[in-house]
Amino acid sequence: MSALMTELVAPESRLFTQLEFRETDTTEDLSWIEGLAVPYGIATNVGWYEEEMVAGVFAKSIREAASSLPLLLFHDGRTFPIGAAESWTERSNGLLGRWRVDTKDELAQQAARKARDGFLPGLSVGFQPIRTERIDRSDQPFLMRRIEARLLEVSLVSTPAYKDATVKLVRSADGAGGGEQRPVARPRAEEWRRTLEQLRSGT
């Protein structure tokens, strides 16, 4: 059974993880972060219900405010953003974003370095639901399928939720046009993901 709802609620946030970082030059200022901000068609438990993002859920938001959506740390809107969205790409598996990092702010650079090195293994979106389909299921928690929502910001975070989301690149200005890309080890990201999965499964 399903019901289509129009919602007027406070902004929400969802976390994304399983990061895969790359770098070009550790001595240069880090200028860009790229990653899959929102996976589509994947249900995840967000407490007392499950949630799924439908393809194009944020299409209107990114069309109207593509270059002004901030990149934050831990959804903290009381401090200056560490960056801003530069472009968005819709793909079959989700919404890919590219964020410009503030190269003159030490906190922004510290956050980018921690992301590059695997100490901030997650992305999270802050959003306001607009249209949601609720699906009641007898043997599982009900599902909230987000059809349309207003994207407010994306944050670097340390706690994962959607395991299929990935950050593809953290790179410097010199690496923007190409150059050799080499993987960065991320043992802590893997360790945190395994620990969280164990806590969720009760094992």
pLDDT at position 163, please?
Answer: 66
User: Does residue 16 register a pLDDT over 70?
Assistant: no
The amino acid present at 143, given as its one-letter code, is L
The model's pTM is 0.76
Q: Which of the four pLDDT bands, split at 50, 70 and 90, describes residue 65?
A: confident
Q: What is the tens place of the pLDDT at every residue in 112-149? A: 998 888 888 788 899 999 999 999 999 899 999 999 99
**Given this model, what pLDDT does residue 5 score?**
64
Domain edges within the chain = 2-201
Which pLDDT score is estimated for 158? Answer: 78
Give a three-class secondary structure readout of 118-165.
CCCCEEEEEEEEEEEEEECCCCCCCEEEEEEEEEEEEEEECCCCECCC
Which of 81, 120, 96, 91 has the alpha carbon at shortest distance from 36? 96
